Amino acid sequence: MYAIELIMTVLLAAAATIILLEVIYTSRIIAAERRQQLLADRSIGCHSSLGWVGCSVICHRATDVAQIENLLRTEYDRYEVIAIIDAEVYGELFSEIVSRYRLLELDRPKHQSETDAKIRRLYRSGQRRYRHLVLLDIQQNVEMYDAMNCALEVTSYNYVIPIKGGYYLRQHAIESIAILLSDDSEQNIELLESLGNPSCQIFRYDTVIARGGFSPNLPDKITPRNTIYTYETYICKSRERQSPKPSIIKVSVQLGLIVAIGLAATLIAREGDIFGIGISSGSEPAINTEAAKYILIICAIATIAITLRAIATYQIVASGTAKCAVRSMLCYFRRLTAFFLRRKFIVS
Amino acid sequence: MNISGIIYIYIIVSLLIAAAYSIATILALHARRKKQHSKQLSNSYLQQIIAMQGREGEVNARSTSERMALAQALHSIMSYTYSTPTENTKTIARNNRLEELILNKLRHANNEEKARLLNILSSIPISAHATDIISKYLHSANRHIRIAAIIATIAASPTKAIRTIADLPFSLKPYDTSRIIALLRRGLLPIAYEPLLMSDNHNLLMLGIAITHNFGIDIADKHLHNIILRQPNRQIVREAIYTLATLGRPLGRHHIREQLAAMSPNIRRELCHHLSCEGYSLSALSVIFSESEIIHAEPLINSYKRSLICTQSN
């Protein structure tokens, strides 16, 4: 029993810590989301460059045309999308993109660097409405970080946003980023890290070049005082855009379960005389105290699960991202481990 | 207290937190449904108002939510159109008492909602009484409220716009300036750029440079050169240089090179990159920057310059 009590103590302490951190995290996410939603009303007029901030989205292995379409939806003028696809492996997708956006192959000079040599062909659109799109055909078996370094050769703007296939930009993401970056009049921001779900890192082009290009250890090379963190969410996964949201009925059932567990725990505590104050009607507890303890442990485990799920559900509804509560809960543990481990640059 | 007691207390506290979040979720779902309904209503009012343009007609809203949706519809129209005749807007706003509704809501709203309501007020013709109420928010601690109040004040009294901007106790950020430019694009503000470019006031100068850049006023280059020559503020000098680059002006003059030499290496490299994108050739860049600074510009310039002479792939 002593071992079980010890395990329960540790489990409860860990659960309480996670819940406390998630309450703080959720409140910040929701506050950032409300600010971003208001931006929709005020983004009219943001289409011209803000403080000369420009954003280049480098999309590694775009999965489909819908992703390209989403990335091109932004109206901010200092913006481009550099899509990286291996034409030999993803030939069909490549052809579809070239024909849809009327892309033309550019006549490039002979290879000027080792990185440049990995680019087979470079395409841009002849049509003004697709002027923000650049397509890179990269050689086979080029690693992701190397492929992104190839894209840096043709990046036009001062901030780069690396993302990978299957990720989409949220509405007004680029305008939000431009507003945040342009507020810094001293131009010192080298890394903007979004702590939303999923996380996203935006690097200053100059900084990436000076630190030798993209690599997993890139954030460690950047001075912490030149890094800013935000809880605004800029990207989402493709399936999060289509998944159904929780219904009022499901949440009401959840609330009912909460009340039921609470009543059950109170009854067990009373009948098992948990607090040892003789509150039962007879001289002895109605339920064996040991049995009451085990039932309470089961209730505690159920409580942990339902509390984390309740916070996750609220986060999903209030932040407007359509993902399931289980995946949101798994993110809790990922965030906790990220707190203790050195931060890495992992493309979302 | 024994472990069972601790477990029990943990259960109750956690369940209270879970219950609070569940109730908050239900309220959020309800609010979302209300918002969707309000958006549909606003779209329907939008269509009615557009159909009314150039003709006599009425748009009436009865309940508070309908009036709010109507106000939102008016705001959308005013934001997306240029020189919209305001007669219909004034009639609709007066008949439905929109100013009164928004001022009432403003009193009890939270920060984000206050900013949103002030934005809507910038699109509705308002009385002098409303302007006095809005002026209280010009000194708000919340930046979004402050800026929304400035926009609403300027929209209500366009002739006092310069005075309002000049008297601000804080510096406008680029986003704030872009929102003022948005009012200019709507044809609301009678502002001339020249007095702004000759002003000593930081906010007016930045606004003048922003107007020059946004509207491509290339005859303003002599003012920009004067700013670069005389301004001690590095931020303003940088804005002026970037604006000259956008206008495609040569940047090899002595005073520009002097100012650039005093800037940090980061800013110099960034400017070099920016000029490459703006179409400046390598020879033009080599006059202003060193060889080590323009080394990364070459592949970019080649990809862009070459795009002027591109081949169709078969």
Per the CB < 8 A criterion, the answer to whether A305 and A313 are in contact is: no
Per the CB < 8 A criterion, the answer to whether B260 and B285 are in contact is: no
**Interface-testing mutation among B11, B118, B233, B235, with chain A (most A C-beta atoms within 10 A):** B11
Q: Is A155 in CB contact (< 8 Å) with chain B?
A: yes
Q: What pLDDT, on a 0 to 100 scale, did the predictor assign at position A46?
A: 64
Distance to chain A for B58, nearest Cα, Å: 26
The interface pTM score, or ipTM, of the predicted complex is 0.85
**DSSP states of A81-126 as a string?**
EEEEE-TTTSHHHHHHHHHHTTEEE--PPSP-STTGGGEEEEEEES
Distance to chain A for B144, nearest Cα, Å: 9
| Class of residue B311 by CB neighbours under 10 A (exposed 0-12, middle 13-18, buried 19+) | exposed
Distance to chain B for A81, nearest Cα, Å: 15
| Class of residue B267 by CB neighbours under 10 A (exposed 0-12, middle 13-18, buried 19+) | middle
How far apart CA A154 and CA A205 sit, in angstroms, is 11
Mean pLDDT of the B271-298 span: 83
| Per-residue model confidence as pLDDT tens digits over B168-182 | 888 898 888 988 888
Q: Give B24's contacts in chain A (Cβ within 8 Å).
A: 314, 318
Query: Where does the pLDDT of residue B18 fall: very low under 50, low under 70, confident under 90, or very high at 90 and above?
Result: very high
**Interface-testing mutation among B2, B6, B16, B21, with chain A (most A C-beta atoms within 10 A):** B21
How far apart CA A11 and CA A288 sit, in angstroms, is 24
Q: Do A107 and B309 touch (CB under 8 A)?
A: yes
Q: Is A255 in CB contact (< 8 Å) with chain B?
A: yes
How far apart CA A27 and CA A33 sit, in angstroms, is 10
Task: Write out the two tokens for B117.
Answer: 């309501």
List all residues 6 or more positions away from B284 whose beta carbon is below 8 Å from its beta carbon.
B250, B251, B252, B275
Q: Which residue of B has its CA nearest to A156?
A: B277
Q: Give A317's contacts in chain B (Cβ within 8 Å).
A: 25, 28-29, 32
Query: Where does the pLDDT of residue A219 fall: very low under 50, low under 70, confident under 90, or very high at 90 and above?
Result: confident
Distance to chain B for A113, nearest Cα, Å: 9
Q: Give chain A's largest Cα–Cα span.
A: 95
More confidently predicted of B227 and A238: B227
Distance to chain A for B96, nearest Cα, Å: 22
Q: Do A41 and B116 touch (CB under 8 A)?
A: yes
Distance to chain A for B290, nearest Cα, Å: 16
- Pick from A241, A346, A258: nearest CA to A302: A258
How many CB atoms neighbour CB B85 within 10 A?
A: 10
Q: What pLDDT, on a 0 to 100 scale, did the predictor assign at position B312?
A: 47
Name the helix (H) or strand (E) containing A80.
Answer: strand A79-85
Q: Is A32 in CB contact (< 8 Å) with chain B?
A: no
Sign of CA dihedral B85, B86, B87, B89: positive
Q: Is A141 in CB contact (< 8 Å) with chain B?
A: no
Domain A46-241 in this protein, CATH class: alpha beta
Question: Degrees (nearest 5) of the Cα angle A336, A339, A343?
Answer: 125
Mean pLDDT of the A226-232 span: 86
| Per-residue model confidence as pLDDT tens digits over B220-270 | 999 999 999 988 888 899 999 999 988 888 888 888 888 888 888 888 888
Q: Do B270 and A206 touch (CB under 8 A)?
A: yes
pLDDT above 50 for B103: yes
Distance to chain B for A275, nearest Cα, Å: 6
Domain ranges in chain A are 2-32+246-319, 46-241
Report chain A's terminal Cα–Cα distance, integer Å: 45
Distance to chain A for B282, nearest Cα, Å: 15
Q: Do B7 and A248 touch (CB under 8 A)?
A: no
How far apart CA A294 and CA A300 sit, in angstroms, is 10
| Per-residue model confidence as pLDDT tens digits over A2-21 | 777 788 888 888 888 888 88
How far apart CA A323 and CA A318 sit, in angstroms, is 12
How far apart CA A242 and CA B185 sit, in angstroms, is 37
Query: Where does the pLDDT of residue B311 fall: very low under 50, low under 70, confident under 90, or very high at 90 and above?
Result: very low
Beta-carbon pairs below 8 A across chains A and B: 222
Q: What pLDDT, on a 0 to 100 scale, did the predictor assign at position A44?
A: 60
Q: Is A10 in CB contact (< 8 Å) with chain B?
A: no
Mean pLDDT of the A58-75 span: 88
How far apart CA A260 and CA A254 sit, in angstroms, is 10
- Pick from A127, A64, A318, A209: nearest CA to B270: A209
How far apart CA A10 and CA B141 sit, in angstroms, is 44
Mean pLDDT of the A275-281 span: 56
Q: Give A176's contacts in chain B (Cβ within 8 Å).
A: none
Query: Where does the pLDDT of residue B161 fall: very low under 50, low under 70, confident under 90, or very high at 90 and above?
Result: confident
Q: How far is CA B266 from CA A105, A189, A305, B261, B273, in A?
A: 33, 11, 50, 12, 11
How far apart CA A41 and CA B163 sit, in angstroms, is 26
| Class of residue A281 by CB neighbours under 10 A (exposed 0-12, middle 13-18, buried 19+) | exposed
Q: Which residue of B has its CA nearest to A258?
A: B15
Q: What pLDDT, on a 0 to 100 scale, did the predictor assign at position B310?
A: 43
Per the CB < 8 A criterion, the answer to whether A68 and A97 are in contact is: yes
How far apart CA A15 and CA A311 sit, in angstroms, is 13
How far apart CA B71 and CA B102 sit, in angstroms, is 9
Per the CB < 8 A criterion, the answer to whether B236 and B197 are in contact is: no
| Per-residue model confidence as pLDDT tens digits over A172-184 | 889 889 988 988 8
The tokens 């939000």 sit on which residue? A176
Distance to chain B for A51, nearest Cα, Å: 5
Q: Do A251 and B7 touch (CB under 8 A)?
A: no
The DSSP secondary-structure symbol of B173 reads P
Q: Give A107's contacts in chain B (Cβ within 8 Å).
A: 306, 309-311
Question: Degrees (nearest 5) of the Cα angle B239, A129, A54?
Answer: 30
Per the CB < 8 A criterion, the answer to whether B13 and B38 are in contact is: no
Q: Give A19's contacts in chain B (Cβ within 8 Å).
A: 14, 17
Q: What pLDDT, on a 0 to 100 scale, did the predictor assign at position A57?
A: 95
List all residues 6 or more positions away from A92 whose beta carbon is below 8 Å from its beta carbon.
none
Q: Do A259 and B19 touch (CB under 8 A)?
A: yes
pTM of the model: 0.85
**DSSP states of B244-306 as a string?**
HHHTT----SHHHHHHHHTS-HHHHHHHHHHHHHHT--HHHHHHHS-HHHHTTHHHHHHHHHH
Q: How far is CA B190 from the centre of its chain?
A: 18
Task: Write out the two tokens for A330.
Answer: 């798994």
- Pick from A94, B54, B302, A215: nearest CA to A203: A215
Q: Do B175 and A52 touch (CB under 8 A)?
A: no
List all residues 6 or more positions away from A305 whose beta carbon is below 8 Å from its beta carbon.
none
Phi-psi category of residue A320: left, alpha or beta, with phi > 0 → left and psi -120 to 50 → alpha: left
pLDDT above 90 for A202: yes
Nearest to B19 among A15, A35, A258 (CB): A258
Q: Give B242's contacts in chain A (Cβ within 8 Å).
A: 52
pLDDT above 90 for B80: no
Question: Degrees (nearest 5) of the Cα angle A299, A305, A308?
Answer: 135
**Interface-testing mutation among B82, B114, B175, B234, with chain A (most A C-beta atoms within 10 A):** B175
Q: Is A104 in CB contact (< 8 Å) with chain B?
A: yes
How far apart CA A8 and CA B3 sit, in angstroms, is 9
Which of A27-41, A156-170, A220-234 shows the lowest mean pLDDT across its residues? A27-41
Crossing angle of helices B3-52/B64-80, nearest 10°?
60
Average model confidence (pLDDT) across chain B: 85
Q: What pLDDT, on a 0 to 100 scale, did the predictor assign at position A23?
A: 87
Q: What pLDDT, on a 0 to 100 scale, did the predictor assign at position A32?
A: 83
Q: What pLDDT, on a 0 to 100 scale, did the predictor assign at position A45?
A: 62
Query: Where does the pLDDT of residue B185 fall: very low under 50, low under 70, confident under 90, or very high at 90 and above?
Result: confident
Radius of gyration for the alpha carbons in chain B, expressed in angstroms and rounded: 27
Q: How far is CA B277 from the centre of its chain?
A: 24
| Per-residue model confidence as pLDDT tens digits over A290-325 | 777 888 888 888 998 899 889 888 888 877 665 555
Mean pLDDT of the A111-138 span: 82
Q: Is A208 in CB contact (< 8 Å) with chain B?
A: no
